[in-house]
């Protein structure tokens, strides 16, 4: 197990160096390193789950098939691992009996395309980080019963979060089908045009492809939001859910690619993902977007045909 973790660390370092390299590096090499990282992460996750109470049943097949990244680039960058938890196993240490629940191990706990409202936070026994509880924003107006729990895992670098989804969304206001317009004239900026019930029609970020699906983090004047994004002094990853682990977030790594407030808690995990975009303007927007929205419902042609 320790060797795996060491190997993962080394692979990550290589990956980061490749991403940030000034010299041209073949995409194949980057992909290979990314795949090595993914394999190690999967192995660690499986080991961890087997060493624990066995509550989490990892499903490698599902990881590949059911992931939004199933086009072959899955997990590259986000390192998301999708797992299914059977109700029976949930009951092993969770009080609530759920008909269905799904657990994901991800570096991007918020970008699932839904609007969530935080309703609780709890210190969990034998866990360094508190668990945050979210429910669908439309629970009151549409009776949507979907909830999710977000808890940072220990000893992960970059920080990873175990996100447990409970219940299905029955609301109609899912944050789907946003329009995203890339300002090709600007190396560091892109224009995001979101057409949803929540967000202002047009939002311009310095570079903030990942924004929150949690209402409060996007509420209000977008300029303020942008300002806060760029204000690294007041910008802390733990502000979102009370995760008091600022050292896990290396702001220096996200200087020009500072994720939005939503992605902020993702810390340096995001920086690795976007470093490729920084060095290459032909970065894959779908990689970034796939974590934000239901990739099934995102029409690339719509995005490509959009104009500023």
Partner DNA sequence: TTCATTTGACCGAA
Partner DNA sequence: TTCGGTCAAATGAA
**Minimum gap (Å) between residue 55 Cβ and DNA:** 10
Q: To 10 degrees, the CA torsion angle through 274, 275, 277, 281?
A: 160
**Minimum gap (Å) between residue 251 Cβ and DNA:** 19
Going residue by residue from 224 to 263, which x/- string records binding to DNA, judged by CB under 7 A?
x--------------xxxx---------------------
Token output for 179 = 């329009």
Q: What's the CA gap between 305 and 177, in Å, rounded?
A: 14
Contacts of 49 (CB under 8 A, 6+ apart): 55, 56, 57, 58, 83
Residue choice 1, 10, 65, 124 for contact with DNA (CB under 7 A): 124
Residue choice 6, 119, 143, 281 for contact with DNA (CB under 7 A): 119
Q: In the complex with DNA, which residue's Cβ is closer, 8 or 149?
A: 149
Candidate ranges 37-45, 114-122, 253-261, 264-272; the one touching DNA (CB under 7 A): 114-122
Contacts of 290 (CB under 8 A, 6+ apart): 68, 69, 298
Residue choice 30, 73, 118, 176 for contact with DNA (CB under 7 A): 118
Residue choice 6, 216, 223, 232 for contact with DNA (CB under 7 A): 216
Token output for 49 = 């789950």
Tell me which residues in 149-208 interact with DNA (CB under 7 A). Answer: 149, 166
**Minimum gap (Å) between residue 262 Cβ and DNA:** 11
Q: In the complex with DNA, which residue's Cβ is closer, 69 or 205?
A: 205
Q: Is the dihedral of CA 288, 294, 300, 303 positive or negative?
A: negative
Candidate ranges 39-47, 115-123, 265-273, 293-301; the one touching DNA (CB under 7 A): 115-123
Q: In the complex with DNA, which residue's Cβ is closer, 155 or 220?
A: 220
DSSP letters for 30-88: HHHHHHHHHHHHHHHHHHHHHHTTS--EE-HHHHHHTSTTTTTTTTTTT--EEEEE-HH
Phi-psi region of 244 (alpha: psi -120 to 50; beta: other; left: phi over 0): beta
Q: In the complex with DNA, which residue's Cβ is closer, 9 or 154?
A: 154
Q: Is the dihedral of CA 254, 260, 264, 267 positive or negative?
A: negative
Candidate ranges 71-79, 181-189, 211-219, 295-303; the one touching DNA (CB under 7 A): 211-219
**Minimum gap (Å) between residue 150 Cβ and DNA:** 11
Q: In the complex with DNA, which residue's Cβ is closer, 121 or 251?
A: 121
Which of these, 143, 150, 166, lies nearest to 96 by C-alpha position?
Answer: 166
Q: What's the CA gap between 288 and 298, in Å, rounded?
A: 12
Q: Where are the alpha helices (DSSP H) in the chain?
A: 2-20, 27-51, 60-65, 87-90, 139-142, 222-230, 261-264, 268-279, 285-290, 300-305
Q: In the complex with DNA, which residue's Cβ is closer, 2 or 221?
A: 221
Going residue by residue from 10 to 49, which x/- string records binding to DNA, judged by CB under 7 A?
----------------------------------------
Q: In the complex with DNA, which residue's Cβ is closer, 133 or 298?
A: 133
The residues binding DNA (CB under 7 A) are 91, 93-97, 116-126, 131, 133, 135, 137, 147, 149, 166, 214-217, 219-221, 224, 239-242
């Amino acid at each position: 197990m320790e060797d795996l973790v060491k190997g993962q660390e080394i692979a990550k370092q290589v990956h980061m160096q490749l991403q940030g390299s000034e010299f041209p590096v073949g995409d194949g090499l980057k992909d290979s390193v990314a795949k090595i990282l993914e394999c190690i992460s999967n192995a660690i996750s499986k080991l961890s789950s087997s060493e624990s109470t066995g509550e989490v049943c990892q499903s490698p097949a599902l990881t590949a098939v059911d992931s939004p990244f199933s086009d072959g680039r899955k997990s590259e960058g986000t390192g998301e691992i999708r797992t299914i938890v059977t109700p029976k196993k949930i009951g092993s240490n969770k009080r609530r009996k759920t008909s269905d629940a799904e657990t994901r191990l991800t570096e991007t706990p918020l970008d699932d395309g839904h609007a969530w409202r935080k309703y609780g936070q709890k210190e969990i026994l034998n866990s360094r980080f508190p668990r945050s509880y979210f429910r669908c924003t439309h629970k009151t107006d549409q009776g949507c019963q979907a909830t999710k729990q977000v808890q940072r895992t220990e000893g992960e670098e970059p920080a990873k979060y175990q996100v447990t989804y409970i219940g299905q969304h029955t609301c109609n206001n899912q944050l789907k089908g946003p329009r995203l317009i890339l300002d090709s004239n600007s190396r560091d900026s892109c224009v995001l045009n979101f057409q949803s019930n929540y967000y202002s029609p047009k939002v311009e970020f310095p570079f903030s492809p990942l924004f929150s699906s949690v209402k409060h983090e996007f509420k209000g004047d977008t300029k303020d939001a942008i300002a806060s994004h760029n204000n690294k002094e007041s910008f802390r990853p733990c502000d979102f859910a009370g995760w008091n682990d600022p050292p896990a977030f290396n702001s220096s790594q996200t200087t020009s690619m500072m994720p939005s407030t939503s992605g902020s808690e993702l810390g340096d995990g995001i920086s690795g993902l976007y470093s490729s975009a920084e060095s290459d303007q032909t970065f894959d927007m779908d990689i970034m977007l796939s974590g934000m929205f239901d990739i099934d419902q995102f029409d690339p042609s719509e995005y490509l045909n959009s104009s500023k």
